[in-house]
Amino acid sequence: MSTVIDPMRATISLHGLGFIQVQLQGDLRLHVWHPILPRRACFEHSAIHDHRFGFVSRVLIGTQRNIEYRAEHRADGTHMTYLHEGPRTPRGGRPWKADGRINLIEDSIEDIPAGDSYVMKPYRYHQTQPLGDGRVATLMKKTSEVPYGARSTCTYGVQPDVDFDRFQWPALRLWAVVLDVLGSGSLVAESNQWALQEEARA
């Protein structure tokens, strides 16, 4: 029997990109950013990543900046890509397997205020930035999924932080941060209504 905690099964955990991830029913996740949250040691060099699934994300609190990129594969590329496949470690992450160098070309920047949504396709490189005071909450729903692992990028020559501990804070401390950001109980009803609407569209 494995003793590794799987953050995909844990109700609440940290993410190395600076937010808390809360697992909800179905394909829904609540993501909460706060300036006090720990991040990967290499965060400034490794914030650009893709996903093995498509999703729509509704901003509940604050304003979220979403920056999309296209990749140009080059032997002298500015960034190394790392494939995340294989069993999770006791700290909750997947292995970082070097997978070739690329240049990243910025395609678009969008600032999404509370009440609006944005859509991402699988394997589309992007990064998100919480604006304002750094307190942002989003509700994400998966729309599609593909079988191969996701990728992170890291500036070439910088060692990625492969040991970020997703469980370094106890759950009660994480929930306190979530409550600090959400603040209003009315958001629960609003997010439930949005989730039902997305379910009806599926």
pLDDT tens column, 126-177: 999 999 999 999 999 999 888 888 999 999 999 999 999 999 999 999 999 9
Q: Of 43, 19, 18, 37, which Cα lies nearest the Cα of 29?
A: 19
Q: Binning pLDDT at 50, 70 and 90, where does residue 194 land?
A: low
Return d(Cα 89, Cα 74) in angstroms, integer: 31
- C-alpha distances (whole Å) from 32 to each of 91, 117, 147 are 20, 15, 27
Return d(Cα 64, Cα 112) in angstroms, integer: 5
The per-residue pLDDT for 1 is 34
Mean pLDDT of the chain: 88
Q: Of 120, 109, 116, 146, which Cα lies nearest the Cα of 49?
A: 120
- Considering the chain, what percentage of its residues have pLDDT values greater than 70? 86
34-52 pLDDT, tens digit per residue, is 999 999 999 999 999 999 9
Q: What is the topology classification, in CATH, of domain 12-201? A: Jelly Rolls (2.60.120)
The per-residue pLDDT for 196 is 57
Please say if the pLDDT value at position 32 is more than 80. Answer: yes
The per-residue pLDDT for 189 is 53
The per-residue pLDDT for 126 is 98
The per-residue pLDDT for 193 is 59
Q: Indicate the range of 60-69, 96-105, 189-198 predicted with least confidence.
A: 189-198
Q: Binning pLDDT at 50, 70 and 90, where does residue 4 land?
A: very low
Helix (H) or strand (E) holding 46: helix 43-46
